[in-house]
Structure 1
Amino acid sequence: MKEFWNTRYQEPQFAYGTRPNEFFQETIDKLPAGKILLPAEGEGRNAVYAARKGWEVTAFDYSIQAMLKTFQLAERHGVTLQYSVKDVQNFEPETAIYDAIGLFYTHFPIQIRPEFHQKLVQALKPDGYVILEGFHKNQQYYTSGGPKDEALLFSLEELEAEFKDLRILSLEDKVIELDEGLYHQGKAHVVRMIAIKS
């Protein structure tokens, strides 16, 4: 898979565009700036937006090409951020250091996903937020992007279980119109969640 993502991100255009995810933008615009973590951040569209809004951004992805594109985008907008090349399985966070964590289309195998999500909860400060958008299990019937393996897609029940230590403020699935670069285009069935650490 790493080769797949490096190849995709090596293309001159930004695979998912340079604008932030709409749900991320509308949510983060309502929060006071602090420290934010963006795992599996890809080419940095959300990281750069957060940095432009005054957030102290830490991001990672396991594609070196994604990191290079992120720094290119950050330079274009005159912002700085921390970005490293890392696999989620090697993610060992400090405890309670982030005010927010953003997860956007982070579809991992079920063997590693619950443990990874638990690590993210540990990394949140009290009153810190998780903001998530990803593909619902029904996305396998749409052509707008995402994995076709149902096990890699989300259900509301899975998210409730995997983030049971947070207070879920909103959790829904809905069909939206995606317009994010080359690879997220058209009708899509997504899940959206905002949760807070009490």
Structure 2
Amino acid sequence: MWEDRYRASDDYLFGTAPAAILPDNPWLVRQGASALCVADGEGRNSVYLAMQGMQVTSFDPSPTAVKRAQHLARDAGVVVNTHVADWDGWDWTQQYDMVAGIFIQFAGPDFRERQFADMQSALRPGGRILLHGYRPEQVGRGTGGPPNVENMYTEALLRDAFAGWTIERCCAYEKDQRAGSGHVGQAALIDFVARKP
């Protein structure tokens, strides 16, 4: 599905600027630290982190999206270790200082549980997980995200999924988005950042 969606557009579907959570929270960046951007699409977030001095690896199942990510990195003068892989094809034993999942709500509750477990296993002790996505209030707005309320995040869901972690940010808010043609308009968003014990 994602390959078809990216191939249908000649331009970056979600634009080339990073999701606002990254520039709005500069404390997330640690120069020289390693980061994994999961289901990274066309690279707008991984390239931004690399531009801030992080050592970034990313994967996405769409060859078209990954090719665009490589072009974006080259144009920005940075290196991102890009891979074409689906979720089950990724090696989750590799360890990182940060794992970022930004707008990865293609997963229903059963798969989401495995998603979170995989991302947790890819983090070093003391490493940071970053999740950014939509809340249930987003459904029906037509400004981005899946139509399934069960795919959305709530503060309670995220706090429960990462019980025992040090929560550094858990914030639900409204924001006007302008990200390519894929995310346009007022959105019900949530940020979650926590450190692994």
TM-score, structure 2 as length reference: 0.92
Instruction: Report the 3-state secondary structure (helix = DSSP H, G, I; strand = E; otherwise coil) of the residue aligned with 2:73.
Output: helix
What amino acid maps onto 2:125 in structure 1? P
Alignment length, in residue pairs? Answer: 194
Check 1:61–1:28 CA distance in 2 against 1; reply closer, same or farther (3 A cut): farther
Q: Which position in structure 1 is the counterpart of 2:77?
A: 78
State the identity as a percent: 27
Asked whether the 8 Å contact 1:44–1:66 carries over to 2, the reply is yes
- 1-structure distance, mates of 2:150, 2:28: 33
Check 1:153–1:30 CA distance in 2 against 1; reply closer, same or farther (3 A cut): closer
Q: Which position in structure 2 is the counterpart of 1:36?
A: 35
- 2-structure distance, mates of 1:112, 1:27: 28
Asked whether the 8 Å contact 1:118–1:163 carries over to 2, the reply is no
Q: Which position in structure 1 is the counterpart of 2:3?
A: 6
- 2-structure distance, mates of 1:58, 1:30: 16
Deviations 1:124-150 (A, max 9, x none): 122211121101011103221111111
Please tell me whether residue 166 in structure 1 is matched to residue 185 in structure 2: no
Which moves more between the two structures, 51-60 or 151-160? 151-160
Map 1:21-170 to 2 at 5 A: 21-33=19-31, 34-94=33-93, 97-107=95-105, 108-170=107-169
Structure 1 unaligned spans of 5+: none
- 2-structure distance, mates of 1:37, 1:26: 19
Deviations 1:56-79 (A, max 9, x none): 111011111111110111111121
Asked whether the 8 Å contact 1:9–1:69 carries over to 2, the reply is no
Check 1:150–1:30 CA distance in 2 against 1; reply closer, same or farther (3 A cut): closer
- 2-structure distance, mates of 1:196, 1:104: 17
TM-score, structure 1 as length reference: 0.91
Instruction: Report the 3-state secondary structure (helix = DSSP H, G, I; strand = E; otherwise coil) of the residue aligned with 1:143.
Output: coil
Asked whether the 8 Å contact 2:34–2:56 carries over to 1, the reply is yes
Instruction: Report the 3-state secondary structure (helix = DSSP H, G, I; strand = E; otherwise coil) of the residue aligned with 2:139.
Output: helix
Deviations 1:76-101 (A, max 9, x none): 11211111111213333126x21111
Deviations 1:132-187 (A, max 9, x none): 11010111032211111111211222212222242212212111111111111110
Structure 2 unaligned spans of 5+: none
Asked whether the 8 Å contact 1:179–1:186 carries over to 2, the reply is yes
Map 1:10-21 to 2 at 5 A: 10=7, 11-21=9-19
- 2-structure distance, mates of 1:143, 1:116: 25
Which moves more between the two structures, 24-33 or 170-179? 24-33
